[in-house]
Structure 1
Amino acid sequence: MKLMQWAYTRKYQVKAVFDDFPETVFLFRRIGEYYFLFSSRGGEYGRLPERHDYAVMEELVNGELGTLHQYRNRRSARSLGVS
């Protein structure tokens, strides 16, 4: 999956489009020092994203915005042993 485009929308929010889901716009909100998927719109006719897709999207957005280190060190990832 690749991040096709992204843009800031409002304070602490980013909208993004990915190549696997080109008809869907995903909205990310800033939580602490990283961005987390908040909602999506569009894409009624395409394949629905799964939990793994959401994690990949969050990593791509955080990597693009320079917050990947904070995303990987979040409390929930540490407690689950996810890296």
Structure 2
Amino acid sequence: MNMKIVQWAYARKYQIKAVFDDFPETVFLFRRIGEFYFLFSCSGGEFTRLPERSDYNRMEELINEELGTLEHYLNRRSNRLGAS
């Protein structure tokens, strides 16, 4: 899977909106929690295929990498608890 960010922009306080090449008709909204961003909602066009959890994880990784918060995202509590 080689998903890429087509564009992103700051939305309201602590929010980012982004479009990805795998889902070009959809705007995904990310919210900041602590020191990283997570997917909050999406809106827009029709899906040729529905995003799966792996797509959402990849989007979160890409946004956090772009914004310099990837290390915090990878070290989040839910990720650490799931590895136990």
Tell me the TM-score normalised to structure 2 length: 0.93
Corresponding residue SS for 2:81:
helix
Equivalent residue for 1:39?
Answer: 41
Tell me the matched-pair count.
82
The answer for unaligned runs of 5 or more in structure 1 is none
Work out the CA distance in 2 between the residues paired with 1:72 and 1:34: 9
Equivalent residue for 1:65?
Answer: 67
Work out the CA distance in 2 between the residues paired with 1:45 and 1:32: 31
Cα shift readout 1:13-64 (whole Å, capped 9, x = no counterpart): 0000000000000000000000000000013242110000000000000000
Tell me the TM-score normalised to structure 1 length: 0.94
The runs of 4+ residues in structure 1 deviating greater than 6 Å are none
The answer for unaligned runs of 5 or more in structure 2 is none
Corresponding residue SS for 1:5:
strand
Corresponding residue SS for 2:30:
strand
